Structure 1
Amino acid sequence: MILVAARLAGIVAALLIALPIHLLWRLLRLPSPWPRWYLGTLGWIIGARRRTVGTPLRRNVVFVANHLSWMDIPILAGRTGSAFVAKAELRAVPLVGWLCTLNRTIFVRREDRMAVTEQIATLRAALAEAWAITIFPEGTTGDGTQLLPFKAPLLAVLDPPPPGVLVQPVRIDYGAATRELAWVGDEPGTAHALRVLRRRGSFIATLTFCAPFDPAAHGGRKAIAAEARARIAAAGGMEAARVDSPTVEPANLDSGGVEAAASL
């Protein structure tokens, strides 16, 4: 429990550093890099040493990624500054829901069919402001050995796509630690978080940014989902229905695993 306490203390300390500065940036109406810094730091505290393959786009992009754990969010946000699409229930979780709002999380009610049009409009408004947004179209977490089916309705914002917006598939991989860290089954969230915090040592978290593509050229959300899924599968040799040849740039290791670069 000493390791858990030390990591929790580090997470709180990083928040106490980042939050006042972030609020000051917002008060001055400046683009704030501090949520990105905080999330990247959180990933480093829990043991992630980030490795990047390929080059992520900065703006006007929807990242489509496989999903292994809640750790995907701080690790990916620390690299890209992306906002995320999350289920509405997360908004009500104490502290976690509030922290999500700092990074401009877009909460959606998947079971509320009456609100679909409104939610798509919210996503389109975010993209119109040139944000980067991440969607996990599996809709749940997997074990890292195979891709679950992509839920095409989660990509409704891209059917039709806003002008100028590209899709960039991303493969998230924790290497040898994947099976140990992946959140699968019906394990309670608190139990999984404690399991991660108790794990000794660090692990390499590889983010493979595949070649982006124009969703307008792929004829609807189902075709977009299939193309993104095939590229993610090809990038990591994972099992999927379709497999294309991987197109990624040479790897580079992020210095220190934490960045405080470009503003959100």
Structure 2
Amino acid sequence: MIRFAFRLAWLVGLILFCVPLHLLWRLFRQRSPWPQRFLGWCARACGMRATVIGERAPGTILFAANHQSWMDILLIGGATGASFVSKESVRHWPIAGWLATMVGTIYIANGDRRAAGAQAERIRRALHDSLSVAFFPEGKLNNGKLMPFRPALFGAVIPPVDHISVQPIALDYGVHSDDLIWPSGSHAAANARKIFARRGVEDVTIHLLEPIPIDENSHRKDVAEECERAIAAALGEAVPQREAA
């Protein structure tokens, strides 16, 4: 209980410290460094110690990462400074939804395949405005197991936009990953309570992998599969098998 209260107080303190500074930067129409700092510090407050392997590609980037936990956003945001694509329901989460909206999260209707083109176009506009964006092309959680990447949102960079590349990110929660992931079907608040109550600090590795250049011959399905292969290799896993059409 003491660890839970300490971590929660730490997070509240970070909100009270970082949000006013972020709003001050925005008031003067300056690009704010505070969301990246805030997310990275929140990851540490939750007990995660990140080690980054590789380098963030320069400039505006579309990041594609494997998805295992709500903490993925804290870790990737702290390492890259990217905004995120998130399901529409996150907008309505208490406090977290307000914070996500404030830092420019792009909300999509996750189950509406017919809207994929419009969703990709929203990401494309953000990239065109020099805002790096990160998303989880698996589309959902699967108890820590890598799933096939959905190609639809890779359409945000096809045809090419402003020489923007796609950089795969592999998140590895280490030896205790089974205890740290967000199990499919469980409530985020219950999982957060479990994480906050954990003892000590957990080492998480963030692999910033080789960027994939996009040209006139690129196809979103090929880019999705290339990201899959790169992330699976970094995690030492087999490439996820797609269902037969």
TM-score (norm 2): 0.92
Please state whether the residue corresponding to 2:205 is helix, strand or coil.
Answer: strand
Cα offset for 1:115? 4.2
Aligned length: 241
2:164 paired residue number:
165
Q: Distance in 2 between matches of 1:127 and 1:150?
A: 20
Residue 218 to residue 199, structure 1, CA distance change in 2 (3 Å):
farther
The answer to whether the 8 A contact 1:58-1:132 is kept is: no
Residue 170 to residue 54, structure 1, CA distance change in 2 (3 Å):
same
2:72 paired residue number:
72
Q: Distance in 1 between matches of 2:169 and 2:120?
A: 22
Q: Distance in 2 between matches of 1:121 and 1:153?
A: 11
Which deviates further from its counterpart, 123-132 or 103-112?
103-112
| Aligned-residue CA RMSD (Å) | 1.7
Please state whether the residue corresponding to 1:149 is helix, strand or coil.
Answer: coil
1:148 paired residue number:
147
The answer to whether the 8 A contact 2:53-2:206 is kept is: yes
2:38 paired residue number:
38
1:230 paired residue number:
229
Structure 1 spans left out of the alignment, 5+ residues: 243-264
Residue 241 to residue 7, structure 1, CA distance change in 2 (3 Å):
closer
Residue 9 to residue 83, structure 1, CA distance change in 2 (3 Å):
same
Runs (4 or more) in structure 1 with deviation over 6 Å come to none
1:183 paired residue number:
182
Identity %: 37
Q: Which has the higher contact order (CA 8 A, sep 6+)?
A: 1
Does 1:27 pair with 2:27?
Answer: yes
Paired amino acid for 2:195: V
Q: Distance in 2 between matches of 1:204 and 1:164?
A: 34
Cα offset for 1:111? 3.3
Q: Distance in 2 between matches of 1:217 and 1:209?
A: 25
1:240 paired residue number:
239
- Could you list the per-position Cα deviations for residues 105-160 of structure 1 after superposition, in whole angstroms to 9, with x for gaps in the alignment? 1101133456444333221111012221111011112344x411111123231332
Paired amino acid for 1:23: L
After superposition, residues 1-264 of structure 1 pair within 5 angstroms as 1-112=1-112, 115-144=115-144, 146-216=145-215, 219-241=218-240
TM-score (norm 1): 0.86
Residue 143 to residue 112, structure 1, CA distance change in 2 (3 Å):
closer
Structure 2 spans left out of the alignment, 5+ residues: none
Q: Distance in 1 between matches of 2:142 and 2:5?
A: 28
